[in-house]
Chain A
């Protein structure tokens, strides 16, 4: 073997060992690209084929639309080599890439043959299950369950992670939500072990959302707390809004207040005005539990702030209207005099504006 070939083989082996996780993904993808180019004219066709598959996988994880073309090229080379397993494998990858990247009709057209060919190769069952799951095809859950019974080599970790996630989603659709939660937990553990904290936080959030959806807020809360402390901005804000809502539902104003205040600041920074309204209403409600007058004051303050930034704050106004209604409902307090215009005629007081 010549010196460049040896170097290429060594680089290929090193890249193979790096499952596509974590922040270094983009740099690894660049190395993949360089290796594929270097191996383009090399005599070691199987090595080039492996490099193409690996490059395609990283492109898919990064959401790059070229992934489908890379897998198609890999399938072409596998066919030229007469390697039926690699051919079926590359086709399945291609189906998944097309389906996940928006070309579902093309993916369906490719799937029939790829699925049939893959029957003979149990080692690519996971890729087959993921392709089926991407198309929401029948048999996705059973295929994934079969494939995930045993742990594969280190380089397959990302595919396994995606497999657990897809399995969780398929099980949730079948209302097998306890099993779905276990599958999500496996995905979360793989991401944490990679280590890829951002991905682990996303998995934890998906898991928490599933639990909330199935009426298990107590089990969801610790997961949301993890996301709140470890997640990126968008995941944190999502978790924070859900957490403050859960705390308020339990009447825990001490926990809800600071959470809602942090969410309010995050939402203001992102100019996410509906999140700002939701966080402000939670904050005001939490303060109102201790001091009834503080609720309206908090809403008014936030309304002034967002309107100064060009946001009308319609839902904050809605909440202020609700508070006015609640004040009227209290029997011990005197009712407001009927609202009248200059002519003394009664007018609508809930048509628009703040009371």
Chain B
């Protein structure tokens, strides 16, 4: 259960105890609700539950409605499923819209005549007018970013990220947790040993309430309890990226499985098998790298968070990888005075696994290779060079020789212009992807690596802007060739095509290098490599 819904439940109980008749239809309902909160055995009448749901709508009530729906018919469940589907669709549409918006924002910033160096802190090139043109408003409140969940890390437990039970145990004023006295004493954890070092999934399973459901129905599992979702996410990562065949096989199995009753048993088994899959992988790859890769792979929110932050940055005309990163992680981690030490470079296997983890989180878009200019009237000006040559050959065979173009026409340039737009858009997208990678790495590794991650993003930002600038320059040179004799412009066209291929390859390389560097930085925080 999320903190938000728990808080909502607390507030609801308090409200009910303060007798608010306009919120609760009648006293009986309040008692029923309290019973529901205290135990899953109680029942609430459907009418009352519906009336409450319209006014409160938290997770407990959703569960109540579901329970009621089971007894009275599928109507409520169907409504819920439809609602959920609509939300998912809406989210997907928003995602797509964001991507297009980001690309457009980056393209427009790069397309401006004074665009050289804009948006970078370094202010290289024409960055002198950066503050005037793209400085944004630092004082404005950022739009709210969704609250994030964070995994506990055993390594952090001794340095600030206290475990939930420790915190509760010491919090004598918190009289709500009256069952605490029954917990046996918790000794201070020692330095992690054995499988404790593989805490990637363990960290997500530290809330006892969240994983308790004494009688989960099959439908409950489709509503995706957090513990099982995390295990399945780890399984998805391992089944695709693990180098050990047994780790891959176990990864494919992670999720609900046969065993004792209750959600806790399911979550414990899935978590245990996930940890054992990591242990198999660690037989061939350095253990810290395996754990850090899995930790990064489980940072599912990083992508959404990065894109939300990119959207905010785009609104402020500050669309740069390091600004996106700053926006996303603002206030998230306590500042630390030092930097993480640079460790030795990880081995090839470790690096491969870390790269795969970052790919898993970021899900980078493919960079399309640039198209070529159509040299003749083939009827399809968007055809690539291979298709055009096949067409020409077929026409020759059929005796339908084409009329060679004498001058360069604007339509002929369209494929190249489209490629330039795509490339500039891809550079903008790569800004957000790099930031997402850094966000995941920061969450996995902690505050000491923040400065180094930001430095990487600044360098990436400069590289990406350089790629975008050069691509736009190629486009402007091409525009000047329109109307010139074909014989004369042919060498320039070849040069332009070659340049675009080069910049496209460089874009891929920059992105890969960024992901690799981010993974290495995340690993150094563990002292491994």
Contact = CB atoms under 8 A, between A and B. Distances in A.
Nearest to B37: A348
A309 B279 CA distance: 21
Interface string A260-303: 00000001011111110111011001000000000000001001
A13 interface: no
A345 B252 CA distance: 48
Contacts of B40: 325, 328-329
Given A65-B349, A105-B512, A328-B40, A212 B207 contact: no
A105 B196 CA distance: 33
A101 B242 CA distance: 10
A353 interface: yes
A59 B268 CA distance: 37
A328 B39 contact: yes
Contact of B178 (A100, A241, A341): A341
Interface in B330-357: 347-353, 355
B212 interface: yes
A308 B208 contact: no
A211 B262 CA distance: 24
A275 B209 contact: no
Nearest to A323: B214
A338 to B, nearest CB: 6
Given A101-B348, A338-B38, A210 B196 contact: no
B70 to A, nearest CB: 15
A339 B180 CA distance: 13
Given A272-B195, A310-B188, A353 B252 contact: no
Contacts of B209: 318, 321, 350-352
Interface stretch (B20-28, B116-124, B161-169, B315-323): B161-169
Contacts of B201: 274
A58 to B, nearest CB: 15
A245 B260 contact: yes
B246 A205 contact: yes
Contacts of B207: 314, 352
A349 B261 CA distance: 21
B10 A348 contact: yes
B9 interface: yes
B454 interface: no
Given A63-B284, A346-B13, A353-B180, A322 B268 contact: no
B245 interface: yes
B268 A315 contact: yes
A351 B250 contact: no
A45 B5 CA distance: 73
A347 interface: yes
Interface in A32-84: 63, 65
Contacts of B285: 102
Given A206-B245, A273-B202, A351-B6, A346 B34 contact: yes
Interface stretch (B76-84, B270-278, B469-477): B270-278
Nearest to B279: A234
Interface string B262-293: 11110111011111100110011100000000
Contact of B276 (A202, A210, A238, A323): A238
B17 interface: yes
Interface in A212-255: 212-213, 217, 234-235, 237-238, 241-242, 244-246, 248-249
Interface string B65-102: 00000000000000000000000000000000000000
A67 to B, nearest CB: 10
Contacts, number: 272
A347 B178 contact: yes
Contact of A246 (B38, B206, B258, B268): B258
Interface of B is mostly: helix
B179 interface: yes
A103 interface: yes
Interface in B176-234: 176-180, 182-190, 192-196, 201-202, 205-215
A350 B186 CA distance: 20
A346 B166 contact: no
Contacts of A282: 259-260, 265
The winner among B189, B265, B283 for most chain A CB atoms within 10 A is B265
A24 to B, nearest CB: 18
Contacts of A235: 246
B181 to A, nearest CB: 8
A352 B249 contact: no
A218 to B, nearest CB: 11
A281 B187 CA distance: 22
A338 B33 CA distance: 13
Interface string A324-354: 0110110000010011011001111111111
B280 A307 contact: no
Given A103-B348, A314-B205, A338-B34, A325 B212 contact: yes
B246 A342 contact: no
3 A-B pairs closest in CB distance: A102-B352, A310-B189, A245-B259
Given A271-B194, A281-B264, 11 more contacts: A273-B195, A274-B274, A281-B265, A315-B267, A318-B263, A321-B209, A341-B175, A341-B176, A345-B17, A348-B13, A352-B168
Interface of A: 63, 65, 100-105, 165, 169, 172, 202, 205-206, 209-210, 212-213, 217, 234-235, 237-238, 241-242, 244-246, 248-249, 267, 269-275, 277-279, 281-282, 285, 300, 303-304, 307-312, 314-319, 321-323, 325-326, 328-329, 335, 338-339, 341-342, 345-355
16 contacts: A102-B349, A102-B355, A172-B252, A234-B279, A245-B257, A270-B194, A274-B271, A274-B275, A281-B268, A307-B184, A308-B185, A311-B189, A339-B178, A352-B180, A352-B207, A353-B179
